[in-house]
Chains A and B, each alone.
Chain A
Amino acid sequence: MSQPEDKDPLDAVLREQHPYIEDDGFTTRVLAALPPRRRTWLRPILLLGATAIGSALAIQWLPWENLPSLDASTLLSLNSQVLLPWLLVLSVAASLTWAVIAAVQWED
């Protein structure tokens, strides 16, 4: 990489006569002229809100009292009448968990 010659005395003059310009509010003016920030908080808030509503509805509407009991023999029997309600509960819980994780880890 070629560099400007250091031995030329004019370089020393130019370097020394290079004024520092005080900020004097310049940075503030630049920041004031920046476009408004995008609302990056809006999406996680919406996700968390939807998750809360989804959780409330799930607690209210899922047939918790009628869920068949689970044990090893019923799991192995692959009885759809036993497993389907549990799959429904698990899928709702997984969706709500995913929404919470997505909201917490959201980056624009």
Chain B
Amino acid sequence: MSFTDADLIARVLSREDQHAFGELVRRYQSPVRSFLARLMRGDTHLADDLAQETFLKAWRKLHTYRGTARFSTWLFGIAFNEFRTVARQRKELALEDIDEGSSTEPVQSATDSRSDLRLDLTEALKQLSSNERAAIVLCCQNGLSHEEAAHVLDCPLGTVKTNVLRGKEKLKRRLPGYQHYESA
């Protein structure tokens, strides 16, 4: 029998059921860790630390979850706040703003294999600003609507749309294998 997110959340809130919370973590660990790994430019160790802190914060703040948004959207919001805190401490955001757009060179050489394209995409995503990267990963990889992404990123809807468009334009310029893949 499969419980819905709402069932599991109710069990956590009423009984502090750690098994129910474990099921929620299992369901969402991959998208949250992947999101943070993208934001941390592939630093998976730090991304996993942030993901763990995200779920611990979710445990502590679960009573504030109102159910108006999807649970995954709520989790992404906590994850992005965790990232922002670390980025501020490291002053990465400020540095990114300076570096943004400085590199428009295609990444690596043109390839037509999917594994090479995956590597190229990973590298190309690293060259986007954190806001563009976050918008692309949320909307294009995790299927969030622009409104949901704006809620997660705590920014205006228009900013999200701009970041998605701008980020995709940059990716197209930097992904030489993209055209091969498209025609494959």
* A-to-B contact residues, CB < 8 Å: 1-4, 8-11, 13-23, 26-27, 29-31, 33-35, 37-38, 40, 107-108
A2-B147, A4-B164, A31-B18 given; A13·B29 CB < 8 A: no
The residue on A at minimum CB distance from B138 is: A4
B16 to nearest A CB, angstroms?
5
Contact B56 A30 (CB under 8 A): yes
A1-B145, A23-B26, A108-B16 given; A31·B21 CB < 8 A: yes
Of the stretches B47-55, B71-79, B82-90, B103-111, the one at the interface is B47-55
Contact of B25 among A9, A26, A35 (CB under 8 A): A26
Contact B56 A33 (CB under 8 A): yes
The residue on B at minimum CB distance from A4 is: B139
B107 to nearest A CB, angstroms?
14
A90 to nearest B CB, angstroms?
34
With the chains together, A5 CA to B29 CA distance in Å?
26
Whether B117 sits at the interface, judged by CB under 8 Å, is yes
A37 to nearest B CB, angstroms?
5
Contact A3 B145 (CB under 8 A): yes
Contact B168 A8 (CB under 8 A): yes
Give chain B's interface residue range (CB within 8 Å of chain A). 35 or more
Contact B15 A18 (CB under 8 A): no
Contacting residues of chain B (1-56) with chain A, CB-CB under 8 angstroms:
14-16, 18, 21-22, 25-26, 29-30, 33-34, 37, 48, 51-52, 55-56
Contact A29 B52 (CB under 8 A): yes
B163 to nearest A CB, angstroms?
12
With the chains together, A31 CA to B16 CA distance in Å?
12
With the chains together, A15 CA to B117 CA distance in Å?
13
Whether B128 sits at the interface, judged by CB under 8 Å, is no
Contact B16 A19 (CB under 8 A): no
The residue on A at minimum CB distance from B55 is: A30
Contact A14 B141 (CB under 8 A): yes
Contact of A108 among B14, B56, B147 (CB under 8 A): B14
Q: Give every chain A residue within 8 A of B140 (Cβ-Cβ).
A: 4, 10-11, 14-15
The residue on B at minimum CB distance from A18 is: B141
Q: Give every chain A residue within 8 A of B59 (Cβ-Cβ).
A: 34-35
